[in-house]
Amino acid sequence: MGLRMPHCLAALLVALVAVEAMIVMGASHSKGNDDAECDYQLVSPVGGTGQERAFCKGKGACYYKTLTCPAECAERKPKDKKKKGCFINCGTKCEATCKRRKPDCDGYGSVCYDPRFVGGDGAMFYFHGAKGGDFALVSDKNLHINAHFIGTRPAGRTRDYTWVQAVSIMFDTHTLDLAAKKVSKWDDKIDCLAVRWNGEIIRIPTSGEAEWRTNGGDREVVVERTDDANSMKVSVKGLLELDVKVTPIGKEENIVHNYQVPDNDAFAHLETQFRFKGLTDQVEGVLGKTYRPGYVSPVKKGVDMPIMGGEDKYSTASLHSTVCEACKFQRPTGYEISAY
């Protein structure tokens, strides 16, 4: 017994140290929900090269460290929007890397195609919803996100092909809408991404910083162009970051999948990738629930199209409704925003 006690104490100490390390590092329970990632302050760039630098302030693996952007992508917001930007991560990754400033449709928190999701647990699944329907993607204490689906049902098919045409981000008393405009013929040079703040159309500048910003209460909101047209990045302080792009159904894609989209509609839709901050353990929604700690996906593995159900639980009456069977978010009493 005398020999076993020190061994047990050592094991206990190791466990306590591991737990303490997780607390100090601010370890997130799921990908894309690391509050320290963007908690940094920019400092003077490297002389001669212009490489931007950031001083990390969030408690975690990067606390009080200074990260420097690689020479290949010296700036977070390159003037040439075709170039890769510097992504600074002061969270558990503790790195500055070069990335395309567009949604990664294979990355955590992505919603693309017809529509295909990659959850906070890394599992891929499809959620078809219904054309003309609205569904809660995320519903939590401080955040609610709905998606509006468009679609088509070719002859002989038993269900709709669907795509996400618009998303509505709701928090406090504010609403930020991003929507793909309906167009008959697609042109990459024509901007088809509409943005509304609290029901009013906002114009995102195309020159200078190419961004629009405002204060939503205590939360700064920034919408920034990441290409000359049809591509933007959205940040809501303390809640989320979102890369969004408008894309059409191409001719080849239409033929391969037999979508049978009409000649007078390009079926412009959104490709999105979310990065969340501060989600609670009770978060709900088609995408939101995949960020719960210990979440186990119910979809079948090893099949080409694993389907996630739940249309009944997450269906809402409109793009701006926060009411559904499983929804958590509640607007202040009497608050309402008109549809458009």
**144-181 per-position pLDDT tens digit:** 999 999 999 888 787 889 999 999 999 999 999 999 99
Residues 214 and 302 in one domain: yes
Residues 167 and 50 in one domain: no
Task: Give the SS3 label for residue 160.
Answer: coil
Residue 75 belongs to what domain range?
A: 34-99
What are the helix (H) ranges across the chain?
A: 4-25, 251-257, 311-314
Question: Total structural domains in the chain?
Answer: 2
Residues 268 and 180 in one domain: yes
Residues 118 and 204 in one domain: yes
d(CA 152, CA 128): 11
Considering 99, 123, 139, which residue would you say is the last residue of a domain? 99
Work out the average pLDDT over 210-217.
Answer: 87
Beta carbons within 8 Å of 330's beta carbon, 6+ residues apart: 322
Residue 277 clears pLDDT 60, i.e. is over it? yes
| Per-residue confidence band for 16, with pLDDT thresholds at 50, 70 and 90 | very low
d(CA 102, CA 21): 33
d(CA 186, CA 246): 11
Work out the average pLDDT over 281-294.
Answer: 97
**Does residue 20 belong to any structural domain of this protein?**
no
| Per-residue confidence band for 333, with pLDDT thresholds at 50, 70 and 90 | low
d(CA 274, CA 167): 12
Q: Scanning the structure block, which residue is given the tokens 């919408």?
A: 223
Considering 76, 99, 122, which residue would you say is the last residue of a domain? 99
Residues 117 and 201 in one domain: yes
**Does residue 88 belong to any structural domain of this protein?**
yes
Q: What pLDDT digit, counting tens, does each position of 89-106 carry? A: 998 889 999 988 899 999
**Does residue 143 belong to any structural domain of this protein?**
yes
**Does residue 83 belong to any structural domain of this protein?**
yes
pLDDT of residue 25: 35
pLDDT of residue 329: 96
Task: Give the SS3 label for residue 180.
Answer: strand
What is the enclosing helix (H) or strand (E) of 277? none
Residues 63 and 210 in one domain: no
Task: Give the SS3 label for residue 94.
Answer: coil
Residues 197 and 55 in one domain: no
Residues 56 and 185 in one domain: no
**Does residue 213 belong to any structural domain of this protein?**
yes
Closest CA relative to residue 229, chosen from 206, 196, 202, 200: 206
Which regions of 248-329 does DSSP assign to beta strands (E)?
269-276, 315-316
Residues 177 and 70 in one domain: no
**Does residue 252 belong to any structural domain of this protein?**
yes
| Per-residue confidence band for 35, with pLDDT thresholds at 50, 70 and 90 | low
Backbone angles phi, psi at 73, to 5 degrees: -145, 75
Residues 63 and 92 in one domain: yes
More confident residue, 105 or 263: 105
**Does residue 334 belong to any structural domain of this protein?**
no
| Per-residue confidence band for 334, with pLDDT thresholds at 50, 70 and 90 | low
Residues 151 and 282 in one domain: yes
Considering 99, 133, 152, which residue would you say is the last residue of a domain? 99
CB atoms within 10 A of CB 122: 12
Which DSSP letter does residue 113 get?
T
Residues 309 and 162 in one domain: yes
d(CA 102, CA 299): 27
Q: What pLDDT digit, counting tens, does each position of 59-95 carry? A: 888 999 999 999 999 998 888 877 888 989 998 889 9
d(CA 86, CA 77): 7
**Does residue 265 belong to any structural domain of this protein?**
yes
pLDDT of residue 20: 39
Q: Identity (one letter) of the amino acid at 1?
A: M
